[in-house]
Amino acid sequence: MELIAPYFKLSPDPAIWTVQLLLIGVITICCNFVLLRLLDFFGRKEKKRHAPGVWDGALLKAARLPLRLLMWVGGLSAAVSLLHAIEPLWLHNFLLQARRVMLIGIAVLFITRFIANMEKGLLRAGSGHRLPDATTVYAVGRLLRLCALAIAALAVAEALGMSISGLLAFGGIGGMAIGFAAKDMLSNFFGGLMIYLDKPFTVGDWIRSPDRNIEGVVEEIGWRMTRIRTFEMRPLYVPNSIFSSIAVENPSRMMNRRIYETLSIRYSDADKMAAICDDVRGMLEKHPDIANEQTIIVHFMTCNASSLDFMVYCYTRTTEWVPYHAVKQDVMLKIMDIVARHGAEFPFPTRTLYMAGGEGDAAAQAAMQAESPRQAMSAAAAPPGSAAPSRPAPVTHAGDAARAAP
């Protein structure tokens, strides 16, 4: 009331103080109107800047609603003070406490809106700004909001006449009980905190775990769980405490992607192997999409059952999935052209069978003829009606035939 006493002459006449209340309302409305016009003016001026500032835009957007509420709280406080000066109100002390709580709430509203606008502004920063990590921005924003809410809760408790020391003592005892009852939730909370600090992955990264069936793109990192979108387009919710006990691979942070293939030519093209390997190596070193500063290996590797194998080992400059396969396809097609240019061919799985003949075959026929007289004598000595004993047919294995080859 001390603020408005110099401008309002107090009078018990209802007509006078009614006019005074209306005047307070009109002044409040006019102040709100002028404030909105000023904020709109500064907002348009900020948009016309060549490089809009993140801080300025966040401040203007955050202050719009809290300043309007502050104007209305000020007008309401002036009206209540005027009425209390004319005739004491039993609700006056309660209204004073409510005003303190509303002012604290307006301050918290401004801080939280400013933090949220800063998050959006930093993530939408233009090319002239160094883009921050989205996970770090979200983590810092949440921590600041939690701190603001905690401080506001203590300030409200003090405004209502509560003892802060008693609340802190009760919070210590209650915190122990809550810790035992919600240890899983706390482990997830600290797991999320470790993700924010260590940054094994961030939002948008492709991750996978060899220990668990976890693979996909990170969509959100919360305080309790992380949401991952699998390649089947299904959401996968993983508690943050899991990540402290498993190995996590982050393919999104690869510097290069690897091409590792084993190719083959026929045994009849063995004399062309060295030239083919040299040409393939030269092609890879000159390829614009192959990282020639990384390891490039093209060497004859082994003699296979029906082919001669050589290894192609190199890295692409791109790490994106679709462009990588386009580069790999181009490399494989050029290798096929090199093999064809040398008159060589890629082999089919084949097996060459050498049939027995010559001296080995003649010896086998002589042995069979030597056994024929014994078979005839056995047939004559056998009683009538009995069948002559038959000699089992010889079993010839493929390996025996191969060994009998000249």
Mean pLDDT of the chain: 77
Whether residue 391 is predicted with pLDDT greater than 50 in this model: the reply is no
* Distance (Å, whole) CA 281 – CA 314: 10
pLDDT tens track for 37-79:
887 777 777 666 655 566 777 787 888 888 888 888 877 777 7
Mean pLDDT: which of 80-89, 294-303, 368-377 is highest? 294-303
The CATH number of whichever domain residue 235 belongs to comes to 2.30.30.60
* Distance (Å, whole) CA 390 – CA 10: 140
Q: Which residue has the higher pLDDT, 85 or 234?
A: 234
List, in sequence order, every residue forming a beta bridge with 261; answer none if it has no partner.
312
Q: Is residue 404 assigned to a domain?
A: no
**Contact between 204 and 218 (Cβ < 8 Å):** yes
Q: Do 127 and 190 belong together in one domain?
A: no
Q: Do 278 and 237 belong together in one domain?
A: no
Whether residue 250 is predicted with pLDDT greater than 60 in this model: the reply is yes
Per-residue pLDDT, 48? 67
Q: Is residue 358 assigned to a domain?
A: no
Per-residue pLDDT, 99? 80
List, in sequence order, every residue forming a beta bridge with 258; answer none if it has no partner.
315
Q: Do 106 and 35 belong together in one domain?
A: yes
Nearest to 207 by CA among 219, 194, 216: 216
Give me 6's structure tokens.
């110099």
pLDDT tens track for 252-310:
899 999 999 999 999 999 999 999 999 999 999 999 999 999 999 999 999 988 899 99
Nearest to 317 by CA among 299, 293, 336: 293
Q: What is the DSSP letter of 295?
A: -
* Distance (Å, whole) CA 301 – CA 280: 14
Q: Do 247 and 269 belong together in one domain?
A: no
Q: Helix (H, G, I), strand (E, B), or coil: what is residue 267?
A: helix
Domain count, the chain: 3
pLDDT tens track for 152-199:
888 888 777 777 666 666 666 666 666 665 667 777 777 887 887 788
Q: Which residue has the higher pLDDT, 143 or 230?
A: 230
Provide the pairing of β-strand 225-229 with 257-265: unpaired
Q: Do 126 and 244 belong together in one domain?
A: no
Q: Do 23 and 152 belong together in one domain?
A: yes
Q: Do 40 and 157 belong together in one domain?
A: yes
* Distance (Å, whole) CA 125 – CA 329: 37
Q: Do 51 and 131 belong together in one domain?
A: yes
The CATH number of whichever domain residue 269 belongs to comes to 3.30.70.100
54-86 vs 92-123: helix axis angle to the nearest 10? 170
Q: Helix (H, G, I), strand (E, B), or coil: what is residue 291?
A: coil
Q: Is residue 383 assigned to a domain?
A: no
pLDDT tens track for 95-118:
777 888 888 888 888 898 888 888
Q: Do 206 and 244 belong together in one domain?
A: yes
Q: Is residue 153 assigned to a domain?
A: yes
**Contact between 135 and 196 (Cβ < 8 Å):** yes
Give me 225's structure tokens.
């769980």
Q: Do 50 and 96 belong together in one domain?
A: yes
Q: Is residue 375 assigned to a domain?
A: no
Give me 333's structure tokens.
């097609």
Q: Helix (H, G, I), strand (E, B), or coil: what is residue 200?
A: coil
Q: Which of 252, 275, 308 is the last residue of a domain?
A: 252
Name the residue range of residue 216's domain.
184-252
